A = this chain, B = another copy of it.
């Protein structure tokens, strides 16, 4: 696969300074790119050393014009680089078609060019769109619906009746539609509350490896368009995650939480049950959210507090022994003054 700089400019809407006919065959990081690669320089640190990359061309911000190498000026260098990389690098895919060692139930409806690898198992009454790839070990339960252009990696379980949109990617080992964690108690033992709902995953969602997304007690757990989750994320029953929200590794979202659009959860953070997180909120790493968060807030810590306050608090925590000592000293000095009176 190859592409000229003029073709790249057309594709990403960039302005070229350099040779329009130069040929690019790969996309690589700034420090390891070769003369056949394109790279990008987004931050000041890279722009400062622009002539140190061996790359055949560099995406740079629109206002940047130094450097002897071929430059393509764009609004968002990383995004332009990503678009070219998506063009040049196609992840390897299994051979198209239904392998004879795949298991397919009754009353299934398949679109065109579906790939079922050996040892994937598709239940009864399943609907699968076009150009879907199910890797080995994938188990799709009865009456599941899957859209178009979906890739499900090995050993993923999608349980009965769940709904998967189009252009969804689910990484290996993930479980979609396990029972929510619901029990009634008589004060001694626990009695299972049947989890009658489903999980619905909308278009353009990417779910990381070994996630667990529970089906709703009633109705649905809902992952909306464009959500991306990292690995080992837990999403409990009846949660709703808004469009374009990012959930980093090992985050836990408890039952019935409602998350808005374009929220960011940093790694290992968690939200307690029945809360709501407003649009565009940012939840810091390892934050433990115990109250609902309004839109646009940046919250950190456990208990949660505004991020700037948390930064100040974090600087003080290690000084606690010193503070305690100082209080004792003040007390003595004060007592001494009082004694003098």
- Let me know if A10 is at the binding interface, CB within 8 A: no
- Let me know if A108 is at the binding interface, CB within 8 A: no
Contact B302 A286 (CB under 8 A): yes
- Let me know if A214 is at the binding interface, CB within 8 A: yes
A309, B321: Cα distance in complex, Å: 8
- Let me know if A326 is at the binding interface, CB within 8 A: yes
Kindly name the residue among A137, A184, A230, A231 whose own CB sees the greatest number of chain B CB atoms within 10 A.
A231
- Let me know if A119 is at the binding interface, CB within 8 A: yes
Among residues of B, the one whose C-beta sits closest to the C-beta of A327 is B326
- Let me know if A70 is at the binding interface, CB within 8 A: no
- Let me know if A147 is at the binding interface, CB within 8 A: no
A253 to chain B, nearest CB (A): 9
Taking CB atoms, residues of chain B closer than 8 Å to A204 are 189
- Given known contacts A121-B118, A171-B178, is B324 in contact with A318 (CB within 8 Å)? no
A95 to chain B, nearest CB (A): 9
A232, B209: Cα distance in complex, Å: 11
Interface residues of A in 160-216 (CB under 8 A from B): 160-161, 169, 171-175, 178-179, 181, 183-186, 188-196, 204, 206, 208-212, 214
- Let me know if A109 is at the binding interface, CB within 8 A: no
Contact A190 B232 (CB under 8 A): no
Which of B82, B231, B270, B310 lies in contact with A267, CB distance below 8 A? B270
Among residues of B, the one whose C-beta sits closest to the C-beta of A267 is B252
A interface residue numbers (CB < 8 A to B): 28-29, 32, 76, 78-79, 81-83, 85-86, 89, 91-92, 94, 101, 103, 117-119, 121, 123, 135-137, 139, 141-143, 153-157, 159-161, 169, 171-175, 178-179, 181, 183-186, 188-196, 204, 206, 208-212, 214, 217-219, 226, 228, 230-232, 234, 236, 244, 246, 248-250, 252, 254, 262, 267-268, 270, 272, 285-286, 288, 290, 301-303, 305, 309-310, 312-321, 323-324, 326-327, 330-331, 333-334, 337-338, 340-341
